[in-house]
Amino acid sequence: MGVVEADMRAALDQPLLSVTGLTKRYGARIGCSDVSFDLFPGEVMGIVGESGSGKSTLLSCLAGHLVPDEGQVTYSGRDVLAMAETERRRLSRTEWAYVHQNPRDGLRMGVSAGGNVGERLMAVGARHYGEIRGAAADWLGRVEIAADRIDDRPSAFSGGMQQRLQIARNLVTGPRLVFMDEPTGGLDVSVQARLLDLLRGLVRDMGLSVIIVTHDLAVVRLLADRLMVMKGGRVVEQGLTDQVLDDPQDAYTQLLVSSVLQV
């Protein structure tokens, strides 16, 4: 094996995101506590747990929207928490993406669909209108939004379309790491299924690394390679998705999987 190949192999063996002892408190209340895990390139990790278990808090800390009280986050060898804000915000416009549960939080409702998708391109320096519009049209197609809706505002879109638009807007710059907080929440069941199929295709085609928060076990079964179960801010079990779902070790996970618990 040549030196270059050895380096590449080594890079693939390195986690893309490495989290150690992450803790976030809201005053006396625990948001999440002592969370540790590694995410490898191309991996999809699901985070499940009942409402209030700390999933969103954890995701916000990872994406830099919240500052944790303790712990370390390393992205691609870089200490995320020690990073200058400029650098972190640049990462979140280029290599990272964040899909909010409510598309209104992740879209500019007063800007056309094309402008919403084009914004990230312009944010990283794209200055050719024709090329920006072309990329926006291409991405609308990839998320199954008709080309003739490119100049419409998202307020004229259905919930499912808004969510697909938010995904296009996030993926247009070809990020490596995507954070998703309940991306199918609040949608009709049939709309959810279509969105999940779409997401699965995009994740596979783009080789994305994903951390997806959900309370829906069907979502993680379909998308996630690995699964982390949270309760009361702590991780109670983690492992390969099939293993955790088919042979849960933790008592809480067993309840969750047996659907005794309505999460």
Partner 1 sequence: MTDQAYNFAYLDEQTKRMIRRAILKGLAVPGYQVPFASREMPMPYGWGTGGVQVTAACLTPEDVLKVIDQGADDTTNAVSIRKFFQRTAGVRVTESTGEASVIQTRHRIPEAPLREGQILVYQVPIPEPLRFLEPREAETRKMHELEEYGLMHVKLYEDIARHGEIATSYAYPVKVEGRYVMDPSPIPKFDNPKLGDCPAIQLFGAGREQRIYAVPPYTQVVSLDFDDHPFVASKAPHDCDLCGADESYLDEVIIDDAGGRMFVCSDTDFCAGRQAAGHRGRLSPAEVV
Ligand X SMILES: Nc1ncnc2c1ncn2[C@@H]1O[C@H](COP(=O)(O)OP(=O)(O)O)[C@@H](O)[C@H]1O
Task: Point out which residues bind partner 1 (CB under 8 A).
Answer: 85-86, 89, 93, 108, 110-112, 114-115, 118-120, 122-124, 126-130, 132-133, 150-151
Q: For residues 60 and 42, give the distance between their C-alpha atoms in angstroms, rounded to a whole number.
A: 21
Whether the Cβ atoms of residue 16 and residue 182 lie closer than 8 Å to each other: no
Name residue, tokens 């990839």: 142
- Site for Mg ion contains 56 (CB under 5 A): yes
Which of ligand X, Mg ion, partner 1, none has residue 258 at its interface (CB below 5 to 8 Å by kind)? Answer: none
Query: In Å, how far are 6, 30, 162, 177 from 121, measured between CA atoms?
Result: 34, 38, 19, 17
Q: From the list Mg ion, partner 1, ligand X, none, pick the one residue 112 interacts with, judged by a Cβ distance below 5 to 8 Å according to partner type.
A: partner 1
Among 52, 159, 185, 239, binds ligand X (CB under 6 A): 52
- DSSP, collapsed to helix, strand or coil, labels residue 165 as helix
Find, among 76, 40, 62, the residue nearest to 207 by Cα. 40
Which C-beta is closer to ligand X: that of 113 or that of 187?
187
| Minimal distance, residue 241 CB to ligand X, in Å | 18
Residue 192 found at the interface with Mg ion (CB under 5 A): no
Q: Which of 6, 9, 26, 156 binds ligand X (CB under 6 A)?
A: 26
Task: Say whether 51 sits in a helix, a strand or coil.
Answer: coil
With respect to partner 1, which residue has the nearer C-beta, 122 or 251? 122
| Distance in angstroms (rounded) separating the CA atoms of residues 150 and 22 | 41
Residues 57-76 that bind ligand X (CB under 6 A): 57
Q: CB of residue 62 vs partner 1: minimum separation in angstroms?
A: 20
Rounded to whole angstroms, how far apart are CA atoms 13 and 7? 10
CB 106, CB 166: distance < 8 Å? yes
207 contact choice in ligand X, Mg ion, partner 1, none (CB below 5 to 8 Å, kind-dependent)? none
Residue 54 binds ligand X, judged by CB under 6 A: yes
Residues 253, 263 contacting (CB under 8 angstroms): no
Write out the residues near ligand X by the rule CB under 6 A. Answer: 26, 29, 31, 49, 51-57
